[in-house]
Structures are given as structure tokens and as C-alpha cells.
């Protein structure tokens, strides 16, 4: 693995080397004091983080092996929750839908946001306006996004289908009212919403690539595609990796947009794992079963994240 200036823990050794000798004091005080100071900085955040993130994570793991409802005492039941989960057809449908959403959302978002970043990564008039315009969907209220897209996708008189009919599609899809087209509709709306955020991240990455590399390549006669392939893509690798991880996590936990746009329907066509966790856990009070589903979601995301780390490392070793 290469160590770049931005890597996470690279300045620490340098800092230790440069630290001036501390004023004479007792040996114990000298070793304890930096520790206490360090912890005092982290503590305010850590207290909240530990109590409300770390503890629930561990607690959740235990919970998935327990039968626990608001009406009874917790009881250790081993793998019963998992057996029940694997027998439920809704679980398999939600698992499939989550994967479907991620498989559509991740590549589309990355291609669109990288494309926009490439288009905007140059000096042109109105640059600020364009950047703001493309970022605007990301700051838009979620419910507003969902409702507007539902209206745009209206099967009979929405502008999307009017346009499709105009260009000659005689039987345009019913979008959110059709089991086959509801998920693509949700994916389109979500890509529209998220692309601006990842675009800014890609723009930042593009600006770390030294301009001289492009000039040198141009002198050597490399065409636009070759420059993109041999300079831009490798130069963007840390950014792409970061974006990929953030986008993966975001995709697998999708909930808000789906609940407001389709509420998992029509039928179970867009029901995703997060929604199932909410329904089983909070609404039905089956905490154990919901935690078992949570564990599947966690394993899924962790698996993909680790896979991306492995691929990333493999690429760098070459």
C-alpha cells in the first residue's frame, strides 16, 4: 500500500520525532499527562459515540439470538430468529430488492457523478452556477424529492410518460404503479438526488492530479481517452475508493426515499431490508427477529466493503 500525505495515520511518527523535550517532571506524570490530555479531547464525542453507537452494535448482535418483545422478558433462543427469517419469503424478496437497488444505484451514481465532475473540472464561465445547480438536488428535502418524482412519473399525465409518448413509445411504463418499473423509478430519483454530492468529491479528487501530467501526455501525443485511462483514472483511485465505500453503505441502507415514494410497493416490489427491520422491530416489536435481519444487512455491507478493500489493495500491488 502506498502512503500518501492524506493517509489516515501518517503524520503521527513525524509528530513524535519533532516534539520538544518536555519540562522536567516526575516520570509518572510525564507519561500520564499526554494520555489524559488526549483523552480529554476525545471524551465529549466518545461518550455519545460509545453509548449510542458502539454499545448498540454489540447489543444488537446478542439481540439477534434472543426472543424479546415489548411484552415479555428476553429469552435466549439460539438460531431460532435466523431460521424464522430464512423461511420468510418477504425476507428473500427484500434481500433481492436491496441488492437490485444497490446494483442499479451504485454504478449509475458513480458514472453520472464522475461524468459531471469531468465536465466541470476546467475553467469556464458560470462554473459556480453549474456546480451549485448540480448540487442542489442533494440539499432538497427528501419528501419533496419523493413527491415530485412520483408526480413526474405519473403514468397517465406525468411529464416523463408524455415525453416518452412524444418520442414514439406507445405504451410507456406505469413506473411506481408497476411491479416491474417501480424499482427503476426509485433508482432514477435516487441517482438524481445523490449525484451532486459525489460529484463534489470527484472534483476534489480531480484537482489533486498534477496538471503537468496532462501536459506531458499531450506532448507525447496521447489522445483524450488515453489521458483519461492512464492519468485520470489512476489519479482518482483513492477518491473512487472512498466514493465507492460511501455509496455502497448508503445504497444498502436505503429507506427514506422508498418509504415515501412507494412504501415498498406495489405489492412487495420495492420492499428493502431496512424497511423490513423497521417493520419487524419497531412496528411489530419482534426485536430479536429484526436484529437477525440487521445482522444480514451488516454482513452484506461489510462483505462488500472488505471486497473493495481487497480489490483496491490488489490493484495497488500491481
What residues are paired with 189 via a beta bridge?
none
* 167 contributes a contact to other proteins by CB under 8 A: no
Question: For other proteins, which is the closer residue by CB, 162 or 179?
Answer: 162
Cα 61 from Cα 294, distance rounded (Å): 9
* 228 contributes a contact to other proteins by CB under 8 A: no
Contacts of 260 (CB under 8 A, 6+ apart): 142, 143, 146, 147
DSSP character for 141? -
Cα-based angle 6, 10, 16 (whole degrees, multiple of 5): 140
Among 25, 47, 169, 311, binds other proteins (CB under 8 A): 47
The three cell numbers of residue 60 are 444488537
Contacting other proteins within 256-285 (CB under 8 A): 256, 259-260, 273-274, 277-278, 281-282
Minimum Å distance from CB 204 to other proteins? 4
Contacting other proteins within 196-215 (CB under 8 A): 200-211, 214-215
* 27 contributes a contact to other proteins by CB under 8 A: no
Among 9, 27, 89, 170, binds other proteins (CB under 8 A): 9
Minimum Å distance from CB 240 to other proteins? 10
* 297 contributes a contact to other proteins by CB under 8 A: yes
The stretch among 81-89, 99-107, 115-123, 169-177 that binds other proteins (CB under 8 A) is 115-123
Cα 213 from Cα 206, distance rounded (Å): 12
* 38 contributes a contact to other proteins by CB under 8 A: yes
Supply φ then ψ for residue 75, to 5 degrees. -140, 135
* 226 contributes a contact to other proteins by CB under 8 A: no
Minimum Å distance from CB 180 to other proteins? 23
Task: Show the DSSP H helices in 20-141 as ranges.
Answer: 27-49, 55-63, 80-87, 89-120, 127-139
Question: For other proteins, which is the closer residue by CB, 173 or 239?
Answer: 239
* 24 contributes a contact to other proteins by CB under 8 A: no
Among 59, 76, 79, 92, binds other proteins (CB under 8 A): 59
Q: How many chain residues are in contact with other proteins, going by CB under 8 A?
A: 126
Reported for 271-275, long-range contacts at CB under 8 A and 24+ positions apart, including other chains, are: 271/90, 271/93, 271/94, 271/97, 272/94, 272/97, 272/98, 272/101, 273/94, 273/95, 273/98, 273/297, 273/300, 274/98, 275/94
Residue length of the chain:
318
Contacting other proteins within 71-90 (CB under 8 A): none
* 139 contributes a contact to other proteins by CB under 8 A: yes
Amino acid at each position: 500500500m502506498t502512503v500518501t500525505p492524506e493517509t489516515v495515520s501518517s503524520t503521527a511518527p513525524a509528530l513524535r520525532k519533532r516534539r520538544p523535550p518536555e519540562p522536567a517532571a516526575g516520570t509518572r506524570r510525564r507519561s500520564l499527562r499526554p494520555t489524559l490530555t488526549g483523552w480529554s479531547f476525545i471524551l465529549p464525542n466518545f461518550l455519545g459515540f460509545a453509548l449510542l453507537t458502539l454499545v448498540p452494535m454489540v447489543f444488537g448482535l446478542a439481540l439477534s439470538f434472543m426472543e424479546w418483545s415489548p411484552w415479555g422478558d428476553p429469552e435466549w433462543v439460539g438460531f431460532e430468529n435466523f431460521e424464522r427469517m430464512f423461511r420468510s419469503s418477504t425476507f428473500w424478496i427484500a434481500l433481492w430488492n436491496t441488492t437490485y437497488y444497490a446494483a442499479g444505484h451504485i454504478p449509475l451514481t458513480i458514472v453520472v457523478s464522475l461524468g459531471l465532475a469531468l465536465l466541470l473540472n476546467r475553467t469556464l464561465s458560470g462554473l459556480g452556477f453549474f456546480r451549485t445547480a448540480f448540487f442542489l438536488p442533494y440539499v432538497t428535502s427528501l419528501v419533496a424529492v419523493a413527491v415530485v418524482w412520483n408526480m413526474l412519473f405519473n403514468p397517465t399525465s406525468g411529464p416523463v410518460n408524455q415525453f416518452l409518448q412524444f418520442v414514439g413509445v406507445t405504451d410507456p411504463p406505469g413506473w411506481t404503479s408497476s411491479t416491474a418499473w417501480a424499482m427503476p423509478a426509485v433508482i432514477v430519483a435516487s441517482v438524481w438526488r445523490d449525484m451532486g454530492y459525489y460529484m463534489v468529491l470527484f472534483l476534489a479528487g480531480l484537482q489533486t492530479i498534477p496538471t503537468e501530467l496532462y501536459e506531458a501526455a499531450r506532448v507525447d501525443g496521447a489522445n483524450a481517452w488515453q489521458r483519461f485511462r492512464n492519468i485520470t483514472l489512476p489519479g482518482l483511485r483513492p477518491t473512487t475508493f472512498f466514493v465507492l465505500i460511501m455509496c455502497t453503505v448508503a445504497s444498502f441502507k436505503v429507506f427514506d426515499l422508498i418509504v415515501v415514494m412507494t412504501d415498498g410497493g406495489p405489492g412487495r416490489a420495492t420492499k428493502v431490508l431496512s424497511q423490513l427491520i423497521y417493520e419487524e422491530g419497531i412496528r411489530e416489536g419482534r426485536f430479536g427477529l429484526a436484529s437477525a435481519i440487521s445482522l444480514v444487512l451488516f454482513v452484506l455491507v461489510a462483505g462488500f466493503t472488505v471486497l473493495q478493500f481487497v480489490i483496491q489493495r490488489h490493484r495497488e500491488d500491481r
